[in-house]
Homo-oligomer: A and B are copies of this chain.
Amino acid sequence: MIYFVTSNEGKYREVLAIAKKYGLEFEWMKEKYVEIQGKDLEEIARKSAEILSEKMKDKKFFLEDSGLFIEALNGFPGPYSSYVFETIGNEGIIKLMKGVKNRKAYFKAVIAYWDGKEIRTFTGIVEGEISDEIRGSYGFGFDPIFLYSGRTFAEMREEKNEVSHRRRALEKFFEWLNA
C-alpha cells in the first residue's frame, strides 16, 4: 500500500486518472503537510517528504509539488503558485502580463517518494505560454491561462493528462515503480 498525500482534491483526481492507465492504485491521505519556503521545487518536495517521513515511519507515501514559472516575471509565481492562485488568482496573472510580449511559461511538477527508507524525486515539465484571457473550465489552478498548442489546459479536458507536467513526472515515477 502506497499513500498519496494531498489536501487538493483536483490534484488527487488527476493522479488517480493517470495511475489507472498504469494499473496502479493508491490510498488517498487527505492531509496538509509542512512545506518549507524556497525557490527550488525539488528541494521543497524532498524536504517536505523528509519531515513527513518522521511521522509516517515505514509507511510508503508520495507527495507532489508543482508550480507555474513565467519567464517575464522572473519565475513568479513558481513555488508559491497555490498561495498566489488563492489570493490574486488567474485575473492577477492576466493583469501582470498585460502588454508583456514574452509570454513563455512552464509548469513543473516534482514527485517525492518515501519508500520507508529513503526519498527519491521525479520531475516533469511542460512548456507553453500565458494566454491573454481566461479560457476553459476543466482542471484547476492556473490551467485556464496556460496555453499548450493553441488551447489552454482548461480547454483540453482529459487530453491535458497526456502531456501535463504532472503526467510526465508521474510517468517516470510509475515506470520506476513497475520496473
Contact A96 B87 (CB under 8 A): no
Total residues of chain A contacting the partner, CB 8 A: 22
A150 to B78, CA, bound (A): 34
Contact with B along A143-157 (1 / 0, CB 8 A): 000000000000000
A30 within 8 A of B: no
Known: A95-B96, A95-B98, A96-B95. A37 touches B88 (CB 8 A): no
A39 within 8 A of B: yes
Closest B residue to A44 by CB, please name it. Answer: B37
Contact with B along A68-82 (1 / 0, CB 8 A): 000001111111100
Q: Which residues of B contact A39 (CB under 8 A)?
A: 83
Contact with B along A4-29 (1 / 0, CB 8 A): 00000000000000000000000000
A56 within 8 A of B: no
Q: In whole Å, how far is A177's beta carbon from the nearest beta carbon of chain B?
A: 28
A1 to B172, CA, bound (A): 51
Other-chain residue from B36, B87, B95, B96 in contact with A74 (beta carbon distance below 8 A): B87
A76 to B98, CA, bound (A): 19
